Amino acid sequence: MALTEYKRKRDFKKTGEPAAKPAPKKVKGASRFVIQKHAARRLHYDFRLEMEGVLKSWALPKGLPWKRGEKHLAVEVEDHPMEYADFEGVIPEGQYGGGTVMVWDRGTYYVYGEQPLKSLREGKLHLLLDGKKAKGEWTLVRIRGRDGEKNQWLILKTGDDAKPISSKLDDESAKTGRTMKEIADARDAEWQSGRAEDQSPTSQFKARIREAIKKKQKMNLLERHTRALEPRRRRVGCRLQSRARKAVVLQFRR
């Protein structure tokens, strides 16, 4: 067979090349993908594909499937701006999507058929991912009409099985190597979602607590500041008092 030689020469676990199909060509304006681990009200993974200058996005409650034939829910969500692809940090509590965000994986993607937009419209994207963690084929299939309340898709593991990610690697940023906790503790980057606040009771409650802590910290600072000034004020007060007393005494003497 013609492909025997092709197969013999390659260790597919190492190269990540599909065993029999040649990889699709790179499409202009459609090449980057990112998966962000997002500890919002519910932990999920946001799967994003660069297309036409925006990030087409799906929320994956269970992340990627690894075993051939396995499928996970993928809920299509609003497009995100390209700048968001590199964001790793914290979305303030009380804002839409409040919580910690990790750049879980990123890399290049290819679409079989090489027409990503057409495939997207038709509701079937046969992908080849070349990331740090995700390597190989996956397929996104829409399972409800575009006008449905929720745009539900499935992401299927197609092609070969992939080795599942260890829990250590699952909690390691592809951008900085940090864990979710380290990202949350560092708070070195904030993303203002600029969207209506998350009105869920839990989120609102957390936001109120955060505000209260902030206020309390401000009060403590103010108190310390006031206390530091106090002795001086007292001294000044005494001087004024004694001056006033002297004045009174002088008045009586007259």
Q: Is-contact 10 21, C-beta < 8 A? A: no
Does residue number 46 form part of the binding site for Mn ion (CB under 5 A)? yes
Q: Indicate the residue among 104 and 112 with the shorter CB distance to Mn ion.
A: 104
Determine which residue in the list 38, 106, 142, 157 makes contact with Mn ion, applying CB under 5 A.
Answer: 38
Q: Is-contact 109 134, C-beta < 8 A? A: no
Nearest to 110 by CA among 30, 205, 21, 201: 30
Residue closest to Mn ion when measured from CB atoms: 38
Q: Which stretch binds Mn ion (CB under 5 A): 40-48, 79-87, 148-156, 197-205?
A: 40-48
Q: Indicate the residue among 128 and 134 with the shorter CB distance to Mn ion.
A: 134
Sign (positive or negative) of CA dihedral 105, 111, 112, 116? positive
Does residue number 37 form part of the binding site for Mn ion (CB under 5 A)? no
Q: Tell the smallest beta-carbon distance from residue 97 to Mn ion (Å).
A: 5
Q: Is-contact 37 45, C-beta < 8 A? A: yes
Q: Tell the smallest beta-carbon distance from residue 131 to Mn ion (Å).
A: 18
Collect all residues with Cβ–Cβ distance below 8 Å to 132 and sequence separation of at least 6: 105, 106, 107, 174
Site string for Mn ion, 97-126 (x = CB under 5 A): ------------------------------
Q: Indicate the residue among 46 and 88 with the shorter CB distance to Mn ion.
A: 46
Q: Tell the smallest beta-carbon distance from residue 150 to Mn ion (Å).
A: 15
Q: Indicate the residue among 60 and 111 with the shorter CB distance to Mn ion.
A: 60
Q: How many helices (H) and strands (E) does the chain have?
A: 6, 9
For the chain, the distance separating the N- and C-terminal CA atoms, rounded to the nearest angstrom, is 126
